[in-house]
Structure 1
Amino acid sequence: MKKILLASVALFGFAGAAAAADLPARAAPPAPVVAAVPVFTWTGFYVGVNAGYGWNTSSNNPFFYDPVLGYYGGDGGNDGGFVGGAQVGYNYQIGQFVIGAEADVQYADRGNRDRILYSPVFGYYNAGNNSDDWFGTVRARAGFAFDRALIYATGGFAFNGDNGGWTVGGGLEYAFTNNLTAKIEGLYVNIDNGNRNDLIYGVGYYGGKNKDEFGVVRAGLNYKFSTY
């Protein structure tokens, strides 16, 4: 009887094991797929607008010449005013270093800087001005990025009309989102308008260096096109 009982237990145990082997395996559900958040990069094209203040820094030495009375100097003042415009550029980031190029065109309401010349016989003469109401630049940029903050230096070519010169400066830019950045920038601009030698009222000559030198401080807003 004991042997029969043991045999029955063994038979039922084997059958239970076989039945358990046929049941589907219990496995943990797959983990949800979460897209990785892209790391911010300064690489890409951008366009933007800017506004600020510009002031003249010219120190020209105009003169008035009369064959009898000789030379008489003039003065031009030191005016300033609103500066604003638009820019387009491209950045490329290598590690924490960022290099790029930017071009901009600016309206500049910095005053006329009228040159008043004086002769004791012929009185005062308005000899024009050396401040244009617009200018543009084409510049290289190079900087160091602290994640979404960028400190940079910039410099290159400056122009207005047929006249050319140079500019140099620097700034700080910060990315609020992957596409929207804001910057504060300062520039010094030096444009050579050539030497003037104009006849005034048929009685003498006005001449001297005619450089347009001014500083600019401006804030800007850029939209950076995605590179992902």
Structure 2
Amino acid sequence: MKALLRAATALAGVALAGSAFAADLPRRAAPPPVFTPVPVFTWTGAYFGINAGYAFDASSRSNNSTFVVPGGVGLTSGPAAVATFRNRSQDGFSGGAQVGYNYQFTPGSGVVVGIEADAQYLDFGRDRNNAFVSGGAIAPGLILNDPRGLASLDYFGTVRGRLGYAFDRTLVYGTGGFAYGSGSADRSFGGYAGNDSFRTGYAVGGGIEYALPTDSFLNFFRSSAVTLKVEGLYVNLDRGTRNQGVLLVNAANLAPAYVTPIGRRDDEFAVVRAGLNYKFGSY
């Protein structure tokens, strides 16, 4: 019996010594946590999109809106007629599409440069013959037209550079470059002095753009980002002698029937619009 007790005591001692030795051994270190960096957004990449807005006359022309049609030349049934137009009758819807490319020098926040081209429909001219006539009556077959108007423009487009600064997903920018436009004969009255021909000029403006998260519900094309923008543009197109002072138009052939000395040389208008872009390239 004593022998068994001595053996048990010896085994207990060995076990205790083994536990103490194991406690002194170095423990295996746990693997460090895996760090996944959050991707930094960049505006670099190509994009395309659509836009819609409102365009209105932005010229510095005279605010005179009253024009006299002299009698005795077969234009009125009285000795004379006075036509009064709404002072700012040239405005309307504008909509179209754009395509472009941006390059950001430093991801996150930094300078962004780019180029953009767009093509726009214009709804100018719906009020071009809305005038109050007094002192006489316009002869049948003649149409009144505001000689200061923009009615001959059906569309315009631009090719512009862009320069801005990005605050992460927010981009503030200025823009400027080449502009062009034209109109169809049915809205520019028979091509008087070539007024339905192609014309060119310039456009300047600026805006602010914001990039939505990649998983936005608007991301139908699985692009790297969907961006929303608000933009303003001033457009100036040189008209030469186009449509200068056309007050009365022959309804049969849309040719000018009477021209006043008051007209305009340039098509000057402003556009305020909102846009949606799909960006492809770097995240």
TM-score after normalising by structure 2 = 0.59
SS at match of 1:101: strand
Letter in 1 for 2:233: L
Match status 1:47 vs 2:51: no
In the alignment, which residue of structure 2 is the partner of 1:94? 105
Shift of 1:112: 4.2
* RMSD of Structure 2 on Structure 1 (CA): 3.9
- From 210, 214, 233, give the equivalent of 1:187: 233
- From 177, 201, 211, give the equivalent of 1:175: 211
Distance 1:36 1:166 in 2: 44
SS at match of 1:42: coil
Query: Aligned pair in 2 of structure 1 residues 84, 205: CA closer, same or farther (>3 Å)?
Result: closer
Q: Is the 8 A contact 2:237 2:267 kept in 1?
A: yes
- From 257, 269, 279, give the equivalent of 1:214: 269
In the alignment, which residue of structure 1 is the partner of 2:181? 160
Q: Is the 8 A contact 1:139 1:156 kept in 2?
A: yes
Q: Is the 8 A contact 1:200 1:206 kept in 2?
A: no
Shift of 1:149: 1.0
Identity of aligned residues (%): 49
Distance 1:57 1:151 in 2: 24
Shift of 1:158: 1.1
In the alignment, which residue of structure 2 is the partner of 1:27? 28
Unaligned runs of 5+ in 1: 1-11
- From 119, 122, 126, give the equivalent of 1:105: 119
Q: Is the 8 A contact 1:139 1:154 kept in 2?
A: yes
Query: Aligned pair in 2 of structure 1 residues 165, 64: CA closer, same or farther (>3 Å)?
Result: farther
Distance 2:164 2:84 in 1: 40
SS at match of 1:194: coil
In the alignment, which residue of structure 1 is the partner of 2:150? 130
SS at match of 1:195: coil
In the alignment, which residue of structure 1 is the partner of 2:280? 225
Unaligned runs of 5+ in 2: 1-13, 74-80, 183-197, 215-224, 251-255
Distance 1:53 1:39 in 2: 35
Q: Is the 8 A contact 2:144 2:249 kept in 1?
A: no
Distance 2:273 2:117 in 1: 15
Query: Aligned pair in 2 of structure 1 residues 75, 210: CA closer, same or farther (>3 Å)?
Result: farther
Shift of 1:210: 3.7
Distance 1:195 1:113 in 2: 22
Q: Is the 8 A contact 1:56 1:110 kept in 2?
A: no
Shift of 1:160: 0.9
Distance 2:51 2:137 in 1: 48
Segment of structure 1 superposing worse, 196-205 or 30-39: 196-205
Distance 1:187 1:206 in 2: 30
Q: Is the 8 A contact 1:153 1:170 kept in 2?
A: yes
Shift of 1:194: 2.0
Segment of structure 1 superposing worse, 57-66 or 95-104: 57-66
Distance 1:210 1:44 in 2: 39
Shift of 1:53: 1.0
Query: Aligned pair in 2 of structure 1 residues 185, 203: CA closer, same or farther (>3 Å)?
Result: closer
Match status 1:57 vs 2:58: yes
